[in-house]
Structure 1
Amino acid sequence: MNSDTQVRVEAKPAGAEPRVASALDKKILAHFPGLVVRKDLTHGLKQNAVVPTYVLEYLLGQHCATDNEDVIQSGLESVQRILAKHYVHRNQAELVKSTIKERGSHKVIDKLTVELNEKGGFYEAAFTNLGLKAVPVSADFVRRFPKLLVGGIWCIADVTYEIADDQKISPWQIDTLKPIQVANVDQEAFLKARAQFTTEEWMDALMQSIGFNPDMFSRRAKFLTLIRLVPFCERNYNLLELGPKGTGKSHIYAEFSPHGMLISGSEVTAPKLFVSNASGKIGLVGFWDCVCFDEFAGKDKKVDKTLVDIMKNYMANRTFSRGIEQLTAEASMVFMGNTQKSVPYMLKHSHFFDPLPDKYIDSAFLDRIHSFNPGWEVAPIRHELFTGGYGFVVDYIAEVLKHLRTEDFTGAYKKHFELASEVSTRDQTGFEKTFSGLMKILYPDGQVTPDECAELLSFAMEGRRRVREHILRIDDTFTQHDFAFRSVSTGSQVTVLTPEELQYPSFARVPKKAPDATVRGEDGIESSSLFSSSLAAPIAMGNREKQLQSEEVETPHHIVVAENTKGWSYKRLFGEQLKGARNITISDPYIRNFFQIRNLMEFLEMVHRLVPEGDEISVSLVTQADRENSSKQEDLLNQVKLAFAGSPVSFSWKMDSNPSFHARSITTDTGWKISIDRGLDIFQKYDSGTFSLEQALQEARLTRGAEVTYIKL
């Protein structure tokens, strides 16, 4: 790490080494004093207390929102003391009850749920971990904290024990009750502080606040993660995400905000979700900003068709009925589920909605989805993805997002762009609500450049296009159309495609004219500014027919490896061009670090498999010396050379000291020159465990995104 961007922070948890905090950490601390916490402290405490993250960070924010070591150590001890003394573990419930009885009163941290005793006309609370039920609770608490009635909330409560003369009266009483959440947020101060951060810094600050290390995520991967926040700041937003297990799809909805409710997709009923006609009790959508259905996929799940019909009406119009009365609510709907099949398999044989229960594979229901987030592009959760840096106390940013629900940025893009294709009302509503939500998250003051605006609009359109394209596979009554927008100032046009359409064009509907990497405005002037970001590029790049789809590629061409996609390998990219070669030269000045030399090793392994039996091939590397550790670099390269000694592949290397040596390419004696903007470094960091599929197969890894040009000399 560069010394000019790093500062030493003396704070450390008990038993840990002093941490090195980035300049971003210091900036967050400086502009949001008292509202941040070091995320490794949360992780450490969470090992011993099974409570939501926002509960722990509420306590840490009160005691550890600083970079002063002494204060942090003292604060940690205080939080640990509070948790040890007041947090109720299920297996210690009887001990806590005894403590309350013997002392007469005791403060507990637990999740409380309240119900109305209809016969008695009073409210009764149930403690989740303590196991107490039918505990009388003041109606004043219920009026102040209505979410006690729906799903319950975590609280700090003073519980007393006193046996009354009337044995029908519960001896347990609640004297005080305080929800664990930030009391208020100064929105003007928030916007003023946000203005001190660049877009990249702000994205990284949000990633750290969620608990992730932003250095481990590409720009597109950050967007795929941050879109999960949109339901918290956008009213009546409907998001679907399907992907492999273990990618943390429901993490945000379980841990991030006290305004969200995570439920199992198979456990909800119409009365629980909307309204009970018998009691008139409003369901979850009336009390929560976001309701997430976890484990929503699964063919074996029992689904109430009545519930599906009510959801369709609510997702489209915000309304649901109780008898003849129409009620409204603002809760966003999130649907999370696991996929069992690969992306190309679903594209070839079915559709992306195939994992859902049959009753939800309804074009009318699916058309209400505003965005489909491709969970297969999200890396599986592993330890190194988590951050030890500073981020907002999650309850603080949750309150900010809640306030932003009152804002509306759906038309903010129209200052810079106009739609250039016919779209349905629901399509436009879908990508505009996604765009609005992303604006609130990244640019809450509404100030956005044309390039930034194009980036958000492209991503938002992509999410809705994925919905539309796969509805077309199950209902041919829907109209086909493209998703395109045009610059108001230059006339440059962008047609938005999904990465999977670009990667597997033979399985996707090909538009009449695929967009080129560079577009021309009506004035004939080339414009590539819309594609300046790594997020927009894989969406807008095209020339799809020239992607690798056949066994033999004999003509010069250019392809784009979209960021965050799978299915790519060195064999797929280079195998056909290397066949028949006897001499291969790799020119890359950045074969220096261990992972780069490991990439080289995998390339040589691929070449080894291509050599016909009885033949030999020579591969030479031209690179540059690592100024900081050239001896280690040379040692690793010599190990690679030794590994292939006696094999059909003869490997050699040499250093080039030319300071202008930057371009990376592969040339063969058969006349091919392959120019690679990233060299062999096209894969994101992956799990390298013994039984890791990513370790064994390049096709299972997520890509970093690259462009490859094939030239015939």
Structure 2
Amino acid sequence: MIDNLDKKALEHFRGYVVRKDLAPLIKGGANVPTFVLEYLLANTCSTEDEQKINVGMENVKSILRDHYVIPEESSLIQSKLREKGRYKIIDKVSVDLDPQRDRYWANISNSNIKRANISDELVKKHEKMLLGGIWAIIDMEYDPMISIGSSVYPFVVKDINPIQLSSYDAGKLAAKRKEFSKDEWMTLLLRSAGYEPGSEGLDDRKQSLLLMRLIPLVEANFNMVELGPRSSGKSYIYKEITPYALLISGGQGTVAQLFVNNTTGRVGSVGEWDAICFDESTDKLFKDRDAVPLMKDYMESGSFSRGGKTGEIAGHASVIYNGNINQPVETVLQTSHLFSPLSDEVNHDTAFLDRINLYLPGWEISKFSPDNFTRHYGFSTDFFSEILKAQRKTTYYEVIDKYFSLGHHLKQRDSKSVRKTISGFIKLLHPDGNFTKEDIREYLVVALEMRRRVKEQLKRIGGMEFWDTNFSYIDKETQEEFFVTLPEERGSDLIERNPLPPGVCYTATSDGNTNALVKIEVVAVKGSGKLNITGTNNNQVKENIKNTYNYLRANEKNILTEQRSLKGYDLNIQISNLLGAYISEGIGSAVYVAIISSIYNKNLKAGLAVLGNLSIGGAIEQSLHFADKVTLLSDNGAKTVLVPIGNINELTTLPASVFEKADVPFYGNSQMLLQKAVE
């Protein structure tokens, strides 16, 4: 059913809009690029008259049947040209300059025609033929009398009618944008990409996420990750919506293909395409090992150097990494980090991951149903892709400075990422450059969230180097500061905020590279003094537990009552790794309070975590990698973190955000530890 926005689109963009459900009906029976189909449909079906649409579709089918060339028919097409002398085809035509002969040659792709004659006038009229080629309706002729030396070149491009736009006027689009409200324009953009906003499952939040898939197409050198479920259209945009994006299957990226061929000197994909999408990035990304450092260099600066004679080479392609998450995001966060599904080449490389401008939470976009695809009018693909491409020439990098400043936790890469995301939103939704302060605030909040998601995962991987994740912005007019949170972090505290059950305590371990959040559970049952340890194979961790147990047994007269002697209990101690790769040593103090609270059936304080280790003689050992551990615990729900007195001089190394979430009292001996731990 046609709606008011359809009528408005037809009124202002007739000839450039098409009903988006028509192309799939034809494409199902013909392997034709979407932009070719929609070009033909826009020229014949850009109307609300159903009868004219049906006639137009039949015309398109007839044109395709008679003139569209499939590669298997190339010899037949060449034969028809020879027999008839003249023939009209639909194919891709590109042009090369032959400087030795001072002339142009045309190459016809599917027809497999090389070195066809073409006039200088046609080349000047359609210069995109020199930039990789264009799809066109081509008038071909066959003249066996044309020769150069002893070679005959009988094929002639007499005239072409481009299927892709041969010219584009950004000024006209900006003028027409004024005729649409912001909501109408966003709906028109999403319909142009094939979606139907407002359909079941596509609420305002998901519409915003879908729109962000277009940012790499309007913003040069923009780096994005999207991980989510299968069949949610992650790669569709870059495969079907624009001829200016390249989709690379997992493991197929080579240095020569992506960057530069040292033999020929030819610049690779980063210099030829507007966007490069690595599909299935959970598999191997690159064929060549040295592609990773080159990609890091390129993602940072938009240029790279491979040595030799090539020097510094610039590119403008944005880079997108898509892949699947096979577990609920809550499970991933409890056991690892949100970059972990990516290829092993990069999923722990903090220098690589820190160059990601935007992490789109694809798990929020459910699998598409037929109702999520629009049946309304949207821009034809060729026109839509030109709209997106034209916006890459402008920037709104500094626009937030008029209204807002960024909080002190945002470093240079964070600020750059936020600014580029906002610039992308403005280009998409305000191509006329007209926007309000509240528009910028809306885009700023989303941009902060998408970059903070990157930083939070870096903190999980790299520890204190990335502690500053408390992202905020300040309204320059009111000087009020606003903080931005992440949906997946809300209510996901791993440490219980209620009084801890008897025998339960939390701690953290770190070896300087890998941090782990650890839950200790002790169950004391009547028995004969046996000790059973489960959940860890680490001998040092087991040694911590045994030393703590032996200290208790040697000093139980001073610590336990006669009725609570360890000889009368079997202790089952379960060690659980809630977050991180593996558990390292240094958990004795937490084990100590867990054992005693289990034996006495006493609750420990709400949200309690304990750092430090007990020697077999009862000495309190200083906690190594102190700041990493305390930050990890406070970020995951700890309200009180008991730490050894030996760490008191390191208190100033803790980020301010820790003290906003947790108390950090010290203890100097095992008696003080118990006093401060028990509820």
The counterpart of 1:298, out of the listed 250, 267, 283, is 283
| Secondary structure in structure 2 of the residue aligned to 1:215 | coil
RMSD in angstroms over aligned alpha carbons?
3.3
The within-5 A match list for 1:519-668 is none
The counterpart of 1:343, out of the listed 300, 320, 329, is 329
1: CA distance between counterparts of 2:73 and 2:464? 59
8 Å CA contact retained: 1:419, 1:486: yes
Give the residue type in structure 2 aligned to 1:408: T
**Which residue matches 2:274?**
289
Deviation, structure 1 residue 262: 2.3
| Secondary structure in structure 2 of the residue aligned to 1:296 | coil
**Which residue matches 2:424?**
437
Deviation, structure 1 residue 25: 1.2
8 Å CA contact retained: 1:485, 1:493: yes
1: CA distance between counterparts of 2:460 and 2:386? 40
8 Å CA contact retained: 1:111, 1:128: yes
**Which residue matches 2:35?**
54
Q: 1:218 to 1:90 in 2, by over 3 A?
A: same
2: CA distance between counterparts of 1:477 and 1:224? 30
2:446 matches 1:452: no
2:230 matches 1:239: no
Deviation, structure 1 residue 464: 0.9
1: CA distance between counterparts of 2:99 and 2:257? 17
8 Å CA contact retained: 2:215, 2:421: yes
- For structure 2, the 5+ residue unaligned runs are 502-679
The counterpart of 1:273, out of the listed 258, 275, 281, is 258
**Which residue matches 2:483?**
495
2: CA distance between counterparts of 1:372 and 1:207? 20
8 Å CA contact retained: 1:181, 1:258: no
1: CA distance between counterparts of 2:344 and 2:132? 28
2:107 matches 1:107: no
2: CA distance between counterparts of 1:374 and 1:151? 34
8 Å CA contact retained: 2:219, 2:424: yes
Give the residue type in structure 2 aligned to 1:238: N
1: CA distance between counterparts of 2:450 and 2:343? 21
Select between 457-466 and 493-502 the one with higher mean Cα deviation.
493-502
Deviation, structure 1 residue 430: 0.7
Give the residue type in structure 1 aligned to 2:486: T
Give the residue type in structure 1 aligned to 2:213: R
2: CA distance between counterparts of 1:308 and 1:121? 41
| Secondary structure in structure 1 of the residue aligned to 2:375 | coil
2:320 matches 1:334: yes
| Secondary structure in structure 2 of the residue aligned to 1:261 | strand
Give the residue type in structure 2 aligned to 1:407: T
| Secondary structure in structure 1 of the residue aligned to 2:494 | helix
| Secondary structure in structure 2 of the residue aligned to 1:214 | coil
**Which residue matches 2:211?**
226
| Secondary structure in structure 2 of the residue aligned to 1:42 | helix
Q: 1:449 to 1:314 in 2, by over 3 A?
A: same
Give the residue type in structure 1 aligned to 2:296: K
2: CA distance between counterparts of 1:250 and 1:321? 29
The within-5 A match list for 1:664-683 is none
2: CA distance between counterparts of 1:415 and 1:453? 10
Q: Deviations over 1:517-571 (max 9, x none)?
A: xxxxxxxxxxxxxxxxxxxxxxxxxxx979xx999xxxxxxxxxxxxxxxxxxxx
Q: 1:478 to 1:53 in 2, by over 3 A?
A: farther
Q: 1:373 to 1:174 in 2, by over 3 A?
A: same
2: CA distance between counterparts of 1:142 and 1:277? 30
Q: Deviations over 1:458-489 (max 9, x none)?
A: 11111111111112222236321111112223
1: CA distance between counterparts of 2:164 and 2:47? 19
Q: 1:442 to 1:293 in 2, by over 3 A?
A: same
**Which residue matches 1:308?**
292
Q: 1:151 to 1:406 in 2, by over 3 A?
A: closer
**Which residue matches 2:247?**
262
Select between 45-54 and 203-212 the one with higher mean Cα deviation.
45-54
The within-5 A match list for 1:369-388 is 369-388=356-375
| Secondary structure in structure 2 of the residue aligned to 1:396 | helix
Q: 1:340 to 1:287 in 2, by over 3 A?
A: same
| Secondary structure in structure 2 of the residue aligned to 1:418 | strand
8 Å CA contact retained: 1:151, 1:261: no
Q: 1:279 to 1:193 in 2, by over 3 A?
A: same
Select between 207-216 and 341-350 the one with higher mean Cα deviation.
341-350
- For structure 1, the 5+ residue unaligned runs are 1-19, 508-543, 552-713
Deviation, structure 1 residue 385: 1.1
Give the residue type in structure 1 aligned to 2:321: F
The counterpart of 2:454, out of the listed 451, 467, 472, is 467
The counterpart of 1:483, out of the listed 457, 471, 478, is 471
Q: TM (normalized to structure 1)?
A: 0.63
8 Å CA contact retained: 1:412, 1:446: no
8 Å CA contact retained: 1:150, 1:283: no
8 Å CA contact retained: 1:113, 1:148: yes
8 Å CA contact retained: 2:128, 2:166: no
Deviation, structure 1 residue 321: 3.0
2: CA distance between counterparts of 1:149 and 1:470? 44
2:323 matches 1:359: no
2: CA distance between counterparts of 1:82 and 1:45? 12
Select between 81-90 and 169-178 the one with higher mean Cα deviation.
169-178
8 Å CA contact retained: 1:24, 1:201: yes
**Which residue matches 1:506?**
494
Q: 1:503 to 1:149 in 2, by over 3 A?
A: farther
1: CA distance between counterparts of 2:467 and 2:151? 67
Give the residue type in structure 2 aligned to 1:188: G
Deviation, structure 1 residue 297: 2.2
**Which residue matches 1:560?**
none
Give the residue type in structure 1 aligned to 2:487: P
**Which residue matches 2:507?**
none
Deviation, structure 1 residue 327: 2.1
2: CA distance between counterparts of 1:147 and 1:333? 24
1: CA distance between counterparts of 2:172 and 2:108? 37
Deviation, structure 1 residue 317: 1.2
**Which residue matches 2:233?**
248
**Which residue matches 2:384?**
397
8 Å CA contact retained: 1:153, 1:258: no
Give % identity: 39
The counterpart of 2:404, out of the listed 410, 417, 420, is 417
8 Å CA contact retained: 1:303, 1:357: no
Q: Deviations over 1:569-602 (max 9, x none)?
A: xxxxxxxxxxxxxxxxxxxxxxxxxxxxxxxxxx
The counterpart of 2:195, out of the listed 198, 212, 217, is 212
1: CA distance between counterparts of 2:222 and 2:436? 25
Give the residue type in structure 1 aligned to 2:418: F
Q: 1:146 to 1:471 in 2, by over 3 A?
A: farther
**Which residue matches 1:637?**
none
1: CA distance between counterparts of 2:410 and 2:114? 54
Deviation, structure 1 residue 71: 4.0
1: CA distance between counterparts of 2:480 and 2:108? 60
| Secondary structure in structure 1 of the residue aligned to 2:454 | helix
Q: Deviations over 1:136-174 (max 9, x none)?
A: 566968888787688765343344556678886566554
2: CA distance between counterparts of 1:503 and 1:375? 20
2: CA distance between counterparts of 1:360 and 1:168? 53
Deviation, structure 1 residue 343: 1.1
Q: 1:186 to 1:172 in 2, by over 3 A?
A: closer
Deviation, structure 1 residue 255: 1.4
8 Å CA contact retained: 1:237, 1:433: yes
